[in-house]
Every structure is written in structure tokens, then in C-alpha cells.
Structure 1
Amino acid sequence: MPESPPHILVTGATRGIGAAILEALSARGARVIGHGTRATPGILAADLSESGAGDGLWEAALAALDGRIDVLINNAGVFEAISVEAPDAEWQASWTRTLQINLQASADLCRRMVLHAQGREPDAGGLRGRIVNVASRAAYRGDSPAHWHYAASKAGMVAMTKSIARGYAGQGLAAFAICPGYVMTGMAQDYLASRGGDKLLADIPLGRVAQPGEVASVATYLALDAPASMTGAVLDVNGASFVR
């Protein structure tokens, strides 16, 4: 990994946490390409609900970043309810969509990052590449009865991150995960309103949900500053609503 400004791909970068990450990294001088559902300057379009979309996004990002990606940040995700009483076809379609976007697409991109990093020259810290996966506290404490699939996808993301860290540390690849609780994004605001916001906030000792910039500051640290020995770390950003 060169000492020149790092080249970084951020998925789900058009709003909320992803947009805050993109802004924070750009402020640090990184060369960042984002991903969203529509193409705009600095944003590549990809529908990660489609099989193989992660691979296509990787190739497009690699071309946009002159053939070099130093850091991958998987942030794209969906949080969509499905009742256990839903018709079988709807239940299965919801699980398929959530796992495809939240886990499979992230796995495909992680695989590409692993292969890309192999054989590269290490940076001063001995790293050839970094992966930062934005998971959720739901990976550890579960979620609502309508969000089994979301919790399962995020638990899979954490397990995947740890597996990558253990499997490829010796090859100079570091992998980290972040587990936010509620974050003040449109998605979280809708959920808080539907579940009774005051009651849910009472479960957060800090007394408020996190701001996107707080999560972005953690992602930026992991992407640019965390030492190689931190590989495999999972950092919580949840106001002490779930401690491990």
C-alpha cells in the first residue's frame, strides 16, 4: 500500500453513515469513490440486490481509481421488515434480498479486495490493504421479530470480518468491523417513530442515538490510522446500549 493518498471504495455512500464516511475520508485527503443506486459525480451506480453486482462495482471502482484500491468500506445495507406471518414467497424473497445486499455483496467485494491485495507491496505498517465492514449491534443482541434476516446478515458480516482477519493477516490484509446501534439517519428515524422513540431511547444509557459523523470518525480511523495489530477488531458505537 503506497504512502500517497489512499484509494478507497465506500458502498452505500449517498446518505447517512456512508455519506459521512465519504466526507470524512475526503477531508483527510483520501481519493474516494462512492457507490449508490444512481450515478452522480464521484458515485458509481450498482444494484447490490442483483447477483454479481458487487463484482461489477469492484471493476468499475478499480477503473475509476486507476487500477488501485487500498481500502474497501462495506456500508451499503437494507433494514426492511418482514412478518413471520407473511406468505412463504414474500418471507423467502425478503430474506434473499436482505442477505444478498447486506452479506453476499459485501462478501463478493471482500473477496475482490483480498485477491487485489495479494502480491502488492506493503506500506510502512506492513499492510497491503484494509477492509472495514459496517455491521450492527444486532449481530450480537438480535433485533425485532420482524428483522431476523437483518440481524442474521449482520452477524454473518462480523463472522466474515473475523475470518478474513485471521486468514489473511499474514499476507498483510487487515479487516475490521463497526457495530453501530441506532444512528440518526432516515432509516433509523422511521424505525424509532414506528416503535415508540422515547421507549427505545430509554434503553440507551447515553440518552441519544449516534450521529452519522460519530460512526464515520471510527470508520476513518480504521481505514487510515488503525495499526496492523488491531486487525479483527469489532468496535461498538451504540451509546452503551449493548456492551460486550
Structure 2
Amino acid sequence: MAIHIFATGTSRGIGNAILDRFGREDVKIVGHRSNPADGDASIVADLSDPTAPRRAWEQALETLDGRIDVLINNAGVFEAVSIDAPDAAWADAWSRTMQINLQASADLCRLAVLHFRRHGGGRIVNVASRAAYRGDSPAHWHYAASKAGMIGMTKSIARGYAAENILAFAVCPGFTMTGMADDYLASRGGDKLLADIPLGRVAQPEEIAETVKFLALDAPPSMTGAVLDVNGASYVR
């Protein structure tokens, strides 16, 4: 019986690589994007809307014949806000980042756990960030905080529901060659940032997708709660 997977944030970058990687496996996967695109069968939901996670989950369930075995939370935003910004702009930036990166992921994890409890278990893979552990730039406090929250949530799920065969893992990429990272590398001086990566290059989306695939399909149950770093040794724990 094919594994049924719902993955968020699959329109580009890491998410698109995840779709491609699972396309080579005996699985049925449905993706998600924020805006509609011609010829794309992904579920469309703007996760900045607090009602969107449930609607997306229910659409995924319908598409996947009422059963989801693996949830992959990859959707996220990486948007700068200066500490010198007006109070309202600062608060809006924090609210939007936390809603998309953390709250929507939490809502989907909750729905997944409730569903898995009725179907004998399942797996959650959360795509977090190196920033969860080492922080980020002065303009990205909120991004780092949201990803740290995702790690804490993943570990809590792993500890709380392992006895019910509900497993949770996280991946922490460093810089990855996506649209978000390209812009950031350019704005912060690419050569200087690359010098901080012992491997000498940023990760490719396909490397993150391979790690996600391992956790979703192959990782032994005793690995539940694990966080895998994929950052070229730019941060080691």
C-alpha cells in the first residue's frame, strides 16, 4: 500500500525538490502552494490566514482518499524587519512570520497527530533552520525564533506520542540555493558568508529533499525526536 504524504510549501526551492524526490518513490504525495498556478494540482492555501491550515489539511485528506501517513511542514517566509521599524511594522512582521512559520505548522501537526491516532500512527517531518540554534541576522530575530519554536514543538510531539507510533523529526538546513537564500547571500556579501561554511558551498535543495525523504520513509522509529543538520558544518552541535 502506497504511503500518502502531504507536504507544504512545494512551489519552489526545497519544497519543489521534495516533490521531485518523492516522485521517484512508491508514494502518493500532494503538495501545497500559496497562490494558484496553471497546470499545478497542488492545494492552494495562504497560511497567513489562521483558517487556512485546517482547510488545506481537509483538502489533502480528500485528495489522498481519506488517509495521510506523513506530514511535511516546509512552508515558510524569510522577511527582514529592522529594530528601527515603526512599532506597527515590527509587530506585523513578527505576527506574519510566526503565523506562517510556526502557528500554521503547529496547527497542521495537531491535525496530523489527531488523524494518526485513529490510523495506527504516522510521521511528521518539520523543515526548520540552522537559525533555530545559532540565530540569524539582526533583521531576522523573528525568523530564528519561529524556527526554534518548530524544534521545540517537534521534540514535544516525539516525546508525547511515540508510544502511539507517531514519530516526529526535524531538518535544519543552513543556506540552501533557493530564491530566499540567493537574495540574502547577495545582500550580505556572498563570499564572506561562504567563507563561514567549511564545505565551501551552500546546500542544494536536492540534499535537503534527500534528508526529508529518509526521515519520512526510512528512518528507524528509535530516531524519533532527532534533528538533522544539513549546513556544510557551518554550525555543529
TM class, shorter-length? over 0.9
Which residue, out of 13, 18, 38, partners 1:16? 13
Task: Give the C-alpha shift of residue 160 in structure 1.
Answer: 0.1
Letter of the structure 2 residue corresponding to residue 26 of structure 1: G
> Within the alignment, does 1:114 sit opposite 2:107 as a pair?
no
Between Structure 1 and Structure 2, how many residues are aligned?
Answer: 235
Distance 1:133 1:22 in 2: 15
Aligned pairs for 1:137-216 (under 5 A) are: 137-216=130-209
Letter of the structure 2 residue corresponding to residue 152 of structure 1: A
Instruction: Tell me if the contact between 1:204 and 1:240 (Cα under 8 Å) persists in the aligned partners.
Output: yes
Counterpart in the other structure of 2:78: 79
Task: Give the C-alpha shift of residue 120 in structure 1.
Answer: 1.8
CA-based RMSD:
0.7
Q: The residue matched to 2:23 in structure 1 has which SS?
A: helix
Letter of the structure 2 residue corresponding to residue 143 of structure 1: D
Stretches of 4+ moved more than 6 A in 1? none
Counterpart in the other structure of 1:36: 33
- Percent identity (aligned): 68
Distance 1:185 1:139 in 2: 19
- Which string of whole-angstrom CA distances, capped at 9 and with x for unpartnered residues, describes residues 13-70 of structure 1? 0100000011111211210000002335330100000112111100010011110000
Instruction: Tell me if the contact between 1:52 and 1:105 (Cα under 8 Å) persists in the aligned partners.
Output: no
Give 5+ residue unaligned stretches, structure 1.
Answer: 122-127
Q: The residue matched to 2:118 in structure 1 has which SS?
A: coil
- Which string of whole-angstrom CA distances, capped at 9 and with x for unpartnered residues, describes residues 75-113 of structure 1? 000000000000000000000000000000000000000
Give 5+ residue unaligned stretches, structure 2.
Answer: none
Instruction: Tell me if the contact between 1:75 and 1:133 (Cα under 8 Å) persists in the aligned partners.
Output: yes
TM (normalized to structure 2)?
0.98
Distance 2:40 2:136 in 1: 36
